[in-house]
Amino acid sequence: MKIALLGATGQTGQFLVKQALEQGHTVTAVVRNPAKLTVHHDNLKVVSADIFSADSLKPHFKDQDVVMSCLGFPASFFSGVTGYTTSMAAVVGAMREARINRVITMTSWYTDPNSGAQSPFLIRFLLLPMIRSVLSNMYEMERFLQKTEDINWTVVRPPGLKNLAASAQEFLTHEGYFVPDSSGQVGRGDVARFMLSLLNSNAWVKKGVAFTTK
C-alpha cells in the first residue's frame, strides 16, 4: 500500500517506517525536519510540510491509500494541548481534497476522563493527572473523528510505551479506553505492528480500539 505517514521521526514513527518498508509498502514520510529521518530506502520518500495546514499536506496525500499518524505533543501544565485536534483537522481537510478516506491514528489508554476510575492507584492519582492535558486533547480529536461521516478512521489506543522492538506476542484488544485485566505497557515496535495489521482489516473501521500484548 501507499502510506502517508505523520510523526515518522518520533520514537513510534521510526518503528512504523521500518516495519512498513519491510512489509513492502511505499511510505511518504511527512515531517517538519527531514534531516531527523536517517533511514534511506527506494520505497521511502521524505517530504517537509506543516502538519497544521491542509494546503501544505494535500500535495503529499495525493494518490496515497492511507494516512497513518503517530504524532505526539508534550503535556503542558500551564496551557491546554491543542496539537492533536489542530493537526487532525488539517489532515482530514487535506484527505478530502486529495480524495483519500482512510486514516489510522494513535492516542492512548484512558483518553475518556472517566475511564481511569478503575486503574491502579499510582496511575489514577499520579500519572493521569500529569498527562491529563495530553489525554484531553486526544479525546477531543477522537470525538472530532467520530463526527466525520466520510472518513474511515481507526483510533489505536496503546497503554504506556516502552522503547522495544516488535515481539511475536498475541494482541489483546478491547473496544474501549483500556484493556481490562491486562498489562499497562507495550513496546513501540508492537504499536507499529498493530497499526500496520489494520491495513488488511475492516474490523476497527470507525472505531477506537484499546490494545496491549499478552
- pLDDT on residue 47: 97
In terms of residue numbers, what domain contains 94? 2-213
CATH (domain of 56): 3.40.50.720
188 with 163: CB under 8 angstroms? yes
Q: Which residues of the chain have pLDDT under 50?
A: none
- pLDDT on residue 147: 98
Q: What is the pTM of this model?
A: 0.96
Upper half-sphere CA count for residue 27 (Cβ side, 13 Å): 31
- pLDDT on residue 118: 85
pLDDT digits (tens, 9 = 90+) for 30-86: 999 999 999 999 999 999 999 999 999 999 999 999 999 999 999 988 889 999 999
- Exposure string for 38-51, b = 16+ CB within 10 A, e = fewer: eeeeeebebeebeb
The total number of structural domains that make up the chain: 1
- pLDDT on residue 116: 93
Rounded to an integer, what is the distance from CA 127 to the centroid of its chain? 20
97 with 54: CB under 8 angstroms? yes
